[in-house]
Amino acid sequence: MPLSQKFKLDWKFVERFCGILKVLFPSCTSQSALLFGTLLVVTLTEQLIIYQVGVLPSRFYNVLADQDYSGFRSLVAKAMVLIIINSTLKSLDQFICNLMYVSWRKTLTESLHAAYFQGRVYYTVNVLREEVDNPMPSGCVSVRHPLNHPPPPTPFPPICHFNNVFCFCSTGWIGPVSIFGYFVIGTFANKILMGPIVSTLFEQEKLEGDFRFKHMQIRVNAESAAFYRAGKVEHMRTNRRLQALLQIQKSLVKKELWLYIGVNTFDYLGGFLSYIIIAIPIFTGVYDRLTPGELSALISKNAFVCIYLINGFTQLIDLSTTLSDVAGYTHRIGELREVMDDILHEQCDYDPASGESPVDTAFIVDQLSYKSPYADELLVEDLSLTISQGVHLLVVGNTGTGKTSLLRVLNRLWEAHSGFVQMTTCFGPRGTLFLPQKPYLTDGTLREQVIYPLKDIYPLSGAVDDERIVQFLELAGVSSLLRRTGGLDEEVDWNWYDVLSPGEMQRLSFARLFYLQPKYAFLDEATSALTEEAEAQLYRTCKQLGMTLISLGHRSSLEKYHDVQLRLCGGACWEITKLRGEAPH
């Protein structure tokens, strides 16, 4: 569906915007609601003060025409007080708006994070779903943009302002009606001009995310790219994304030109319209009985009332430029929330089975067939096996036959095409743990790397836990990291992927495995960057710690650490053979 048809100011925008408002204002007593209520009170008071300041010139006309010195002095004193109060209220208005921006950004971003990191949503939305590109980088930036625009300074639409009363008393019905008609025409014209901008702005946000992702990709994989001497080709690819972004930005600028022309035209027409409205009662003889001084004071007062009322409507018309931005960002955030909600409804994490399942079993697989989400051809068909405690399983096969895909299906990252998979143990320590083919190192200290993904015990770990961590670092052969980092809890300012070799990253992953000590450890080519001697030491330690190993790999040296071999032969075929000891269940 074209973007121009998919994203615009329509009912879908209203639904998404209301959904975001529910997040920003969860209750009437929430911080955001209290801040917004305070802002309304402040801005309403500000409007009353502004009116008093606005009619001061008409009073100066009177006292100066009457040469009233004492009245002039008191009016000057009153003017100074009103100006100070008005300036304070305006500053307080902006201060509250800035507080609301921080509060709203915190609330909305944390809401996105809560859905994004729940279950396997972050994996599915990044890898398996194509609706949203670069979801969280773009989503978080999209959060920042609309909230940067503070609410309009007037808490209620100008049509409800008491200025309408003064305008009606001075000019009759033609004054308020003319101003309202002017506002309706301006709103309709700007609605037409905003249509093309919303979809273009949405596309710009998408390309902005692609461009940032490209730089992040180079940053994370800088060493690998450097070994390929890939500077020129990455320069070309990055510039290609930049050019696509700049092209859509130029298109957006051209479309916004017409909107700016419309907005500025109505701004100037508003000032001109005020004099026409004021002139009508004057030239029709309504105020012929007034003296020149009184007429001057009345003209000054009416000019302020009409111009202020027109300015209020003009501000709403000017908001059309902001509204077009907000609409684009709202669609971006709303679409991301909808996709994540859809994923959460589809996914269901397994819980350990009830007492009916064997206590010494991790997985029961029956007639399982699976394939890649991006292909129709089955990788494996009708696979049946039981992963039981104490029976070490080796999964082998050529590249592309579905070894890692089997782990993805067991871990429910991918859905099975058909068949039955049951996880009968918990995930994590004393349960099941997966070591992926590419080690994952989070940001943080050395302790946080070892205990990952545990979070509850940090940073309250005591000396006993420190001794265990140091012991497991030594068993994994990376005790030197203690010297390089300065200790378990010293903050480091480097990227772990930049300073550790592939072998060190794999050893650190094993130190993490030793610390967590699961019953079942799934190892996806976890020693591919290590020597066979290092591999032997790590596998022996795993067995000494009581782990049942399920390994994926190509090395024949792995066979001696396992009891059963599952060979994936390609073409959806497979075979199970006994290596030594017990037969497969």
DSSP characters for 74-130?
HHHHHHHHHHHHHHHHHHHHHHHHHHHHHHHHHHHHHHHHHHHTSTTHHHIIIII--
Determine phi and psi for 25, rounding to 5 degrees: -125, 75
Q: Could you give the C-alpha distances from 548 to 284, 508, 540, 543, in angstroms and in order? A: 99, 20, 11, 7
CA 556 vs. chain centroid, Å, equals 46
CA 190, 195, 198, 200 dihedral sign is negative
What pLDDT does 479 receive? 92
Burial of 546 (0-12, 13-18, 19+ CB in 10 A): exposed
Prediction pTM value: 0.69
Chosen CATH of 156-345 out of 3.40.50.1220, 3.40.50.150, 1.20.1560.10, 3.30.60.50: 1.20.1560.10
Residue 280 CA to residue 267 CA, distance in Å, equals: 21
Which tokens sit at 504? 């060190």
Starting at the edge strand found earlier in the chain, the sheet holding 393-397 runs: 432-435, 520-524, 548-552, 393-397, 564-570, 573-578
How far is CA 303 from each of CA 171, 273, 351, 391, 447, rounded to the nearest angstrom? 11, 11, 72, 91, 71
How far apart are the C-alpha atoms of 314 and 299, rounded to whole Å?
Answer: 21
Cβ neighbours of 133 (radius 10 Å): 14
Given a contact cutoff of 8 angstroms between Cβ atoms, the answer to whether 121 and 115 are in contact is yes
Supply 268's token pair.
């100037």
Check if the beta carbon of residue 462 is closer than 8 Å to that of residue 549: no
Contact 449, 496 (CB under 8 A): yes
pLDDT tens per residue, range 37-77: 998 888 888 878 877 887 777 777 777 777 778 888 888 89
E-only strand ranges, 424-538: 432-435, 520-524
Q: Mind giving me the DSSP string for 157-170?
A: -GGGSTHHHHHHHH
Class of domain 361-578: alpha beta
Beta strands in 399-453 (DSSP E): 418-423, 432-435
**Tokens in use for 233?**
């080709």
Q: How far apart are CA 214 and CA 223, in angstroms?
A: 15
Q: Which residues pair with 572 in a beta bridge?
A: 380
pLDDT of amino acid 353: 43
pLDDT band, residue 314 (cuts 50/70/90): low
pLDDT tens across 237-290, in order? 888 888 888 888 888 888 878 877 777 777 667 666 666 676 777 777 777 777
pLDDT for 160 = 46
- Look at residue 561 and tell me whether its pLDDT is greater than 90: yes
The tens digit of pLDDT for each residue in 318-355 reads 565 566 667 777 877 888 888 888 888 776 544 444 44
Give the confidence band of 3 by pLDDT, cuts at 50, 70, 90. very low
Say what the pLDDT of residue 258 is.
80
Indicate whether 459 pLDDT > 80.
Answer: no
Give the angle subtended at the CA of 202 by the CAs of 196 and 208, to the nearest 5°: 130
Q: Which H helix or E strand runs over 344? A: helix 292-346
How far is 394 from 548, CA to CA, in rounded Å? 11
3-class secondary structure for 264-312?
HHHHHHHHHHHHHHHHHHHHCCCCCCCCHHHHHHHHHHHHHHHHHHHHH
CA distance 53 to 89: 13
Contact between residue 61 and residue 296 where contact means Cβ atoms under 8 Å apart: yes
pLDDT score for 169: 59
Q: For residue 509, is pLDDT > 90?
A: yes
**Pair of tokens at residue 509:** 């992953």
Percent of the chain at pLDDT above 70?
A: 77
Query: Residue 559: what pLDDT?
Result: 92
Q: Which residue has the higher pLDDT, 112 or 150?
A: 112
Mean predicted confidence (pLDDT) in 469-494 = 91
Give the model's pLDDT for residue 518: 92
Query: What was the pLDDT predicted at 44?
Result: 85
- Same topology, domains 156-345 and 361-578? Answer is no
Answer with the residue of higher pLDDT: 19 or 300: 19
Q: What tokens appear for 165 in the block?
A: 């009363």
For the chain, give the mean pLDDT.
79
CB 45 within 8 A of CB 284: no
pLDDT band at 548 (very low <50, low <70, confident <90, very high): very high
Domain extents in the chain: 24-117, 156-345, 361-578
Question: Which of 318-332, 528-542, 553-567 is predicted least confidently?
Answer: 318-332
What DSSP letter does each residue of 124-182 carry, written as one string? IIIII--SSSSHHHHHHHHHHHHHTSPPPS-SS-GGGSTHHHHHHHHH-THHHHHHHHH
